[in-house]
Structure 1
């Protein structure tokens, strides 16, 4: 059976890594997180990535998270994994992902080193070529590729997409206009709802939404308003929900993870707010601010049952 070299479109679901009171992975909470995202209409599940505290998982926990995502999804949506870190670990994670039945993986940046382009090419091509799964490269931090390096990587049919977490629009235009439909383009900027208007016209058809873990109906309303040019509604969403959350997120490093768990606890998901070092939990004052914003989100933009749009 031939593999379709396409990545999921629309709003991508990135579950967290729930921890119990002993600091161990809480599988039942992870199942509820994933089920919630699927029931709310998210187009896919990306497990063991940044929001899933990839940096803090051991290999057994990683495998358990992938197994849980695939068994919970039951084929309803595609499951992608995060792979990365040192090359040996990344290759092992890629093999686990393939063996367990994932559709593809997002390649996270390597540890510590700020490599030359040739080093990044070797790193990425080794991982991409190691399985038949769809691969997505992630432009951010110490893994920023030139147009020429990405063009070389397109020789691998497994390469299906580029996720941007850098925000260099000049480079994004170079990539999308030169490579075109050979790849899919995903917005991974934090907070993605803040930046998505700048990405849509470049051909970015999907984005990872942190807030979808606790207010997915806002993500859905936002994306529909963006695609259908409902400017007044977009302005209200920005002023009352999206920008206030983004302001809190920027208060502390690590809130890109911790704030998600806080929001999930606020709406009643059994996740808890425990995070693993070096990430810190959300401070009380910021937690209370988030509570108020979430209340406004439900009061001002009532939840409706509908499918999330895609381009």
Structure 2
């Protein structure tokens, strides 16, 4: 079943409402121990994610190992998400690489019934801002789905570039992963009314209060992928201005998690998947070139996870 609408204004409105009501879910993609896509496990995991009422769901993006999926697997993942969501939440599928390849994925997402696309940073090459804008323009011209640009890695916009991006028909927002608040403030001031922004930094809760000071309170949460109880408690405390609860969660859970994440490249995804497995969720291993954590790091992750769950009165609940 297709989502609510692919008209940019309506999609933006629903996403804005969702961003105000909960964190944005970036679900993991389930693989077997042999590394094959596991469609049944994907559906089981997605159902568990959606039961926690996130603001929107973003399948096959960075946390979902988009770069490790072929086109048939991508179709399966996005179709399963649309099917399970059943129009209750916006489904924003990831697309990426160069614009020609991004359009191949965009057309699959259209056929699957996605509501919008998150344009992931392009592959390998450095590019001038004019090329970044043209990349989005070509993708937008080839799909009926609204686009959200992802500013991270080699993609960074100036205020003039952001105005050019926002003028492209169908581009409705920007996900920021650079955490340059001076630049981000300038971008929000340069954007037209109604243009969407959200915090897409790794472990976004760490910087959520800082982002909110420049007018970007919405954020995605990798923690929601394995511990929605913790992510939702932090979101509620942030919205309520409960600094005591936020500080305790940051100090005792999020900061140790980030310190562990920073030990090994790729742990921003690998630890999330390992934590999901610790909770009995059927996500399987990561695909190369990512690697799963070794015994020592896994033990530290288990300790951090148990601490976080205890802080919010939840249990591990192994399968």
For the residues of structure 2 that align with 1:185 and 1:172, how far apart are their CA atoms?
A: 9
| Count of residues paired in the alignment | 303
Match of residue 93 from structure 2: 81
Match of residue 61 from structure 1: 73
Compute the RMSD of aligned alpha carbons: 1.6
For the residues of structure 2 that align with 1:286 and 1:248, how far apart are their CA atoms?
A: 7
The match for 2:293 among 282, 301, 310 is 282
Match of residue 246 from structure 2: 234
Match of residue 303 from structure 2: 292
For the residues of structure 2 that align with 1:194 and 1:220, how far apart are their CA atoms?
A: 14
For the residues of structure 2 that align with 1:144 and 1:75, how far apart are their CA atoms?
A: 32
Structure 1 segments unaligned to the other structure (5+ residues): 305-311
The match for 2:25 among 9, 13, 34 is 13
The match for 1:127 among 139, 145, 157 is 139
For the residues of structure 1 that align with 2:257 and 2:204, how far apart are their CA atoms?
A: 12
What TM-score do you get using the length of structure 2 for normalisation? Answer: 0.91
For the residues of structure 2 that align with 1:133 and 1:83, how far apart are their CA atoms?
A: 11
For the residues of structure 2 that align with 1:150 and 1:128, how far apart are their CA atoms?
A: 15
2:286 match: secondary structure: coil
Q: What are the superposed Cα offsets for residues 104-123 of structure 1, whole Å, 9 maximum, x if unpaired?
A: 01000111110011111111
Q: Say whether residues 1:40 and 2:52 are aligned partners.
A: yes
The match for 2:64 among 52, 68, 76 is 52
For the residues of structure 1 that align with 2:99 and 2:190, how far apart are their CA atoms?
A: 29
Tell me if the contact between 2:95 and 2:105 (Cα under 8 Å) persists in the aligned partners. yes
Tell me if the contact between 1:5 and 1:158 (Cα under 8 Å) persists in the aligned partners. no
Match of residue 246 from structure 1: 258
Q: Which runs of 4+ in 1 moved over 3 A?
A: none
After superposition, residues 61-210 of structure 1 pair within 5 angstroms as 61-210=73-222
Q: What are the superposed Cα offsets for residues 31-81 of structure 1, whole Å, 9 maximum, x if unpaired?
A: 122111111121111011001111111111111111111111111211110
For the residues of structure 1 that align with 2:48 and 2:214, how far apart are their CA atoms?
A: 30
For the residues of structure 1 that align with 2:185 and 2:230, how far apart are their CA atoms?
A: 28
For the residues of structure 1 that align with 2:179 and 2:246, how far apart are their CA atoms?
A: 21
1:182 match: secondary structure: coil
Structure 1 position 98, deviation (Å):
1.5
For the residues of structure 2 that align with 1:296 and 1:153, how far apart are their CA atoms?
A: 43
Match of residue 307 from structure 1: none
For the residues of structure 2 that align with 1:91 and 1:77, how far apart are their CA atoms?
A: 23
Q: What are the superposed Cα offsets for residues 135-163 of structure 1, whole Å, 9 maximum, x if unpaired?
A: 10011111112211110122223111100
Match of residue 268 from structure 1: 280
Tell me if the contact between 1:33 and 1:213 (Cα under 8 Å) persists in the aligned partners. no
Q: What are the superposed Cα offsets for residues 249-306 of structure 1, whole Å, 9 maximum, x if unpaired?
A: 111100111111111011111122x2111111112111111111221222232149xx
Q: Which moved more, 1:58-67 or 1:150-159?
A: 150-159
Structure 2 segments unaligned to the other structure (5+ residues): none
Structure 1 position 182, deviation (Å):
3.2
Tell me if the contact between 2:147 and 2:172 (Cα under 8 Å) persists in the aligned partners. yes
1:47 match: secondary structure: coil
1:160 match: secondary structure: strand
For the residues of structure 2 that align with 1:189 and 1:40, how far apart are their CA atoms?
A: 22
For the residues of structure 2 that align with 1:38 and 1:105, how far apart are their CA atoms?
A: 19
Match of residue 22 from structure 1: 34
